[in-house]
Amino acid sequence: MAFRAGELAKSGQEEVEVYLVPRARDAPPEVRARSRQILQTLIDDLGPVVDAYPSWHPLVAKHDPRHPTTTPGKQCGYNGLDHTRYFAHGFVTCPYGDGQDVIDSVNALPRYHHARITAERLDVQFYSPEATPILVKCDWDHALDDDHTVPLALAMPLILEKEVPCWRWSQVAETWETMRPYFLGRPHGARSSLFVSQETGQSIKTVWNAVIQTGMFGPIKV
């Protein structure tokens, strides 16, 4: 089945609106209307709702290379996340309390030469009146494509920076089919996702197949 980015982006927005916008019993109409307005602004700024990030994305890049992760959590440096929803280049988490541990953990993340991760409290009601919405955002130093996808010139070096050092301890080379969720994020199709275009995804696949054919990671795992 073809990867339908538009349909997935729409269904993702509908799901996140149900989750984050307070219910009618918890907030008056004007509060709910503002929540929807702020949510739309976030989507316009950060890109579509996603299920998981590519393992090379700065929002999850701080992790053990032997155990790559694709969702923000303690394994990649965050503390205090709760009731979290992801967008292509940022996420909103809604812990109870003031959320200071989230902000402190983001401030402690390494400074990437290609992006900066920031955290701020949002003056809006999301999820619950008792929760404090925190926006964690990836500000790229390089321009993204108009649809918020990452260009090949940025995605490919980030992938290689993560994967090439693994040759020191790898025993087998993983195929494109295995690595696809880590390179494309979720949801994804055969060669594209909400993070990379079809053309970019095809180029990533071509380069990866060439890399594993060198034998640097060991025999190709079948």
Separation CA 94–CA 57 (nearest Å): 22
Report the percentage of the chain scoring pLDDT > 90: 87
CB-CB contact of 35 with 75 (8 Å):
no
Averaged pLDDT, 61-77: 91
Residue 2: pLDDT band with limits 50, 70, 90: low
Burial (CB < 10 A; 0-12, 13-18, 19+), residue 182, is buried
Averaged pLDDT, 64-79: 92
Backbone angles phi, psi at 93, to 5 degrees: -125, 145
Report the percentage of the chain scoring pLDDT > 70: 99
CB-CB contact of 58 with 115 (8 Å):
yes
Averaged pLDDT, 98-106: 96
CB-CB contact of 190 with 176 (8 Å):
no
Separation CA 146–CA 174 (nearest Å): 32
Residue 5: pLDDT band with limits 50, 70, 90: confident
The lowest-confidence range among 4-13, 30-39, 148-157 is: 4-13
Give the tens place of pLDDT for each residue, 134-144: 999 999 999 99
Token pair in block for residue 86:
């992801």
pLDDT of residue 161: 94
Give the tens place of pLDDT for each residue, 50-62: 999 999 999 999 8
The answer on pLDDT for 1 being more than 50 is no
For the chain, what is the mean pLDDT?
94
pLDDT of residue 208: 98
Averaged pLDDT, 28-36: 94
Separation CA 171–CA 188 (nearest Å): 27
3-state SS record for 90-156? EEEECCECCCHHHHHHHHCCCCECCEEEEEEECCCCCCCCCECCEEEEEEECCCCCCCCCCCHHHHH
